[in-house]
Structure 1
Amino acid sequence: MASNKKIATLAGLAIALLAGRASAADNGWIDSASVEFGSGSKVRIGRLAVQKNWDAQWFASNGRHLSGYWDLSAAYWRGTAYRNVDGQHQNLAVVGITPVLRYQRDDKLGWYAEGGIGANLFSELYNNSDNRLSTAFQFGDHIGIGYVTANKWDLGLKFQHYSNASIKRPNSGVNLLVASARYQF
């Protein structure tokens, strides 16, 4: 029951973040918002996030450069093999912040590649389908590709890995394939 309260709190936080999006975008605090869906070994996730672009360009050459953004996210995870028992469910809430590096065109349209490593806090310890994480704090890293359209939609696909970097064992890690749709204000 405490997990459901944590999930409800996380969902409320995500809604508040997105509801305040217009005001925050007007003030320059948020540049975009995204919705993501992913899956791994007997786990599905849904995530809402807001982003803030960095005002920096590195290694600019031939109309491309390296830049990045901050990503603040709230996610819901649903495992279907809690404690390695098929049909037993584990519901988790996860909040995270990730600095992301992106190699893209100077006009920020078309194809890009990106990668990031961030900090995440789980509502409880993950124990699903032979994967166990022994700490609520986890690093989340990803590599991905995507395409930004002329009408400000950013469609991406990324491989995501969660692990506590062996701070405490067991630490089998969790791998996910995640699809995202992001709208830039």
Structure 2
Amino acid sequence: MSTFSSWGGALLLAGALLGAHSGVSAQTPAQAAPQGLDWQLNYGTSSSASVKKVGVIAGWQRGAPLWQGEQWRLTLRHELEVAFWRVPKAQDIVEAGYSPFLRLERPLQGSGVVFGEFSIGVRLLSHTRISPDHPLSSAFQFSDQIGAGYQWGPQGRSTLGVRYTHLSNAGIKKPNPGINFTQVYYRHRF
């Protein structure tokens, strides 16, 4: 979890960059984030042993924002993930986990919303070796994530985003090399 502190600065920078966009419509507290169960498909790659990851996520968002400003709002999103890792130099891995995401959102004129997000979640892995010389040493892992995306459509039903994910056991067991993924995702709420 050593990368979390540097992620905070990256999230602030992303928020500042998103804030430079003009044409923002102010939101009132009554304009809550969309609710209901949504489904998300993820694809990610890691330079560690050429691991590739495909995941399915069931997610939902808290109805009212945690904080509502003139142009920005802070929301809470929950995600349950099941992912499959293609591990060329070891046995393939199944990942299951939960992540609560804080999302800093800025509604745009029209129906779009841009956002930055971050999370510290938990994961359970079916196996711990991703190459002969790269064991993760424990099946339990923490999942630090930071990302950005764009939400559009009627009532914000579609989302496209990118995430950087770091899995690590936070030193519970040594060695603790961790693994990083760069991911893209598409989400749809029916």
For the criterion TM > 0.5, the same-fold answer is: yes
Given that residues 104 and 111 in structure 1 are in contact (C-alpha distance below 8 angstroms), is that contact kept between their aligned partners in structure 2? yes
Aligned length: 150
- Aligned pairs for 1:142-157 within 5 A: 142-151=145-154, 152-157=157-162
Which residue number in structure 2 is paired with residue 165 of structure 1?
Answer: 170
Which residue number in structure 2 is paired with residue 9 of structure 1?
Answer: none
Given that residues 131 and 174 in structure 1 are in contact (C-alpha distance below 8 angstroms), is that contact kept between their aligned partners in structure 2? no
In structure 1, list runs of 5 or more residues that go unmatched. 1-28, 83-89
Instruction: Give the TM-score, by structure 2 length.
Output: 0.73
Task: Give the 3 Å change call, closer, same or farther, for CA 137–149 of structure 1 in structure 2.
Answer: same
In structure 2, list runs of 5 or more residues that go unmatched. 1-34
Which residue number in structure 1 is paired with residue 88 of structure 2?
Answer: 80
Alpha-carbon distance in structure 2 between the residues aligned to 1:130 and 1:55? 46
What RMSD over aligned residues (CA atoms) do the two structures have, in Å? 1.9
- Which residue of 130, 133, 139 corresponds with 2:142? 139
Q: Percent identity?
A: 31
Which residue number in structure 2 is paired with residue 40 of structure 1?
Answer: 46
Alpha-carbon distance in structure 2 between the residues aligned to 1:54 and 1:131? 38
Structure 1 residue 55 displacement after superposition: 2.5
Alpha-carbon distance in structure 1 between the residues aligned to 2:176 and 2:36? 34
Amino acid in structure 2 at the alignment position of 1:102: R
Task: Give the 3 Å change call, closer, same or farther, for CA 30–137 of structure 1 in structure 2.
Answer: farther
Given that residues 40 and 188 in structure 2 are in contact (C-alpha distance below 8 angstroms), is that contact kept between their aligned partners in structure 1? yes
Q: Does 1:125 align with 2:128?
A: yes
Instruction: Give the TM-score, by structure 1 length.
Output: 0.75
Q: Does 1:182 align with 2:187?
A: yes
